[in-house]
Amino acid sequence: MKLSVAIVVVSLVLAASEVTEEDDVLVLNKKNFDDVIKNNKFVLVEFYAPWCGHCKALAPEYSAAAKKLKDKGSLVKLAKVDATVEDELAFKHAVKGYPTLKFFRNEQPIDFGGERDSDAIVNWCLRKSKPPVEYIESLDSCKQFIDKATIAILGFIKVIKRLLSLLFRIRTPWIWQISKKWPTS
């Protein structure tokens, strides 16, 4: 009898922390929120209120974005929290209005800064989930990178290291005059 009661209690605890999905969107609560954020590198979380008109308008776009990301095999997961029920989570994450979207990258939240249609959500998430630096090792890959980038800052690290090394060895006077770090003599 005691064993069956223990099994029922453990089952209830596990069921409460289990993550469910609605239209490819993870449904989070205070019991599973931290686990989902910890176990997924990238999670976009919508804090919503069921009565909110903007939330209702976002719902189909958000679901469509979740499906597109899933179909692409992206590591980004989309999730939602009913902030009227999970008010502690909403308070913890400084939710002041609905819907509020927060992107968690390696457990660190940032505010969503994109448009609220499915394609824009997908593109924003894919950009935020890329590595912060992209290494380019050939002229062709450089051209491709520049063609797809809005802003590109290229650093020729090996060339700069060699140039600085040379400048330090010969102590070119005009460099030190400009920097005002070393005398020109």
**What is the spatial distance between Cα 123 and Cα 138, in angstroms, rounded to a whole number?**
26
Residues 88, 151, single domain; the answer is no
In a domain, 184, yes or no: no
Q: Can you tell me the mean pLDDT for 123-149?
A: 82
In a domain, residue 154? The reply is: yes
User: Are residues 99 and 154 both part of a single domain?
Assistant: no
Q: What is the pLDDT of residues 75-115, one digit of tens each?
A: 999 999 999 999 999 999 999 999 999 999 999 999 999 99
- For the chain, how many structural domains are there in total? 2
Give the structural domain span for 60: 2-128
Average pLDDT, the chain: 83
Question: CA 32 to CA 16: how far, in whole Å?
Answer: 8
CATH number at residue 17: 3.40.30.10
Residue pLDDT, tens place only, 32-82: 999 999 999 999 999 999 999 999 999 999 999 999 999 999 999 999 999
> Does 134 map to a domain?
no
6 & 55 share domain = yes
For residue 45, tell me if it sits in a domain. yes
Active-site positions? 52-55
Q: Are residues 146 and 84 in the same domain?
A: no
- Distance (Å) of CA 178 to CA 72, 147, 161, 183: 51, 35, 19, 10
Query: Cα–chain-centroid distance for residue 37?
Result: 11
